[in-house]
Amino acid sequence: MSSASATGLVSLVYTSTAAQPFRETALEQLLAVCRRLNDGRGITGMLLHRDGRFIQVLEGQADTIAGLVDTIRRDSRHRDLRVLLTQSITERRFPDWTMGYRALHVGESRPSGFRDSFADLDAGADVDTTLRALNELTLWFRVRARD
């Protein structure tokens, strides 16, 4: 397997807030466009949405990802974009998804000791917490994507 520097692949995780509430149909339309564009650019990843907050993982060539994040920053549908993590990778977490998507809903009751990986990522406390939450959400997402 080639090294990350030789491949130029990066994984970038960011959070943002929707400037206006998104209806599910609007999100589906946005996803259709993003998937088509991402496929042509060699970008993979996942998008999570909960209560007007987004967490997105993008994977691809470093310059392509940087350009996409600049475009997203200028998109009036987003505000408060914050990059939590950018790292060189040797392989993709989401090689088959031009943009996997899940809407998350906050549960009414939570058991004692409950940890909310979405909230942990959204907070972006530190690199270790961010990586742990990303790994947990990746596993959660992959299991549910088979449904």
Determine the structural domain holding residue 56 and report its residue range: 9-101
Query: Does a structural domain hold residue 115?
Result: no
CB 102 within 8 A of CB 37: no
Query: Does a structural domain hold residue 95?
Result: yes
CB 19 within 8 A of CB 76: yes
Query: Does a structural domain hold residue 3?
Result: no
Q: What's the CATH code of the domain at 29?
A: 3.30.70.100
Query: Does a structural domain hold residue 43?
Result: yes
The number of distinct structural domains making up the chain is 1
In angstroms, the CA 124 to CA 89 distance is 20
Residue 57's CB is within 10 A of a number of other CB atoms, namely: 26
Mean pLDDT value of segment 20-49: 86
Query: Does a structural domain hold residue 124?
Result: no
Query: Does a structural domain hold residue 47?
Result: yes
What is the radius of gyration, based on Cα positions, of the chain?
15
Query: Does a structural domain hold residue 144?
Result: no
Query: Does a structural domain hold residue 27?
Result: yes
Question: What pLDDT does residue 10 have?
Answer: 96
Q: Characterize the bridge pairing of strands 53-61 and 78-88.
A: unpaired
Q: How many CA atoms lie within 13 A of 96 on its CB side?
A: 4
3-state secondary structure of 95: coil
Instruction: For residue range 54-90, list pLDDT tens digits in order.
Output: 888 899 999 999 999 999 999 998 899 989 889 999 9
Reported pTM: 0.70
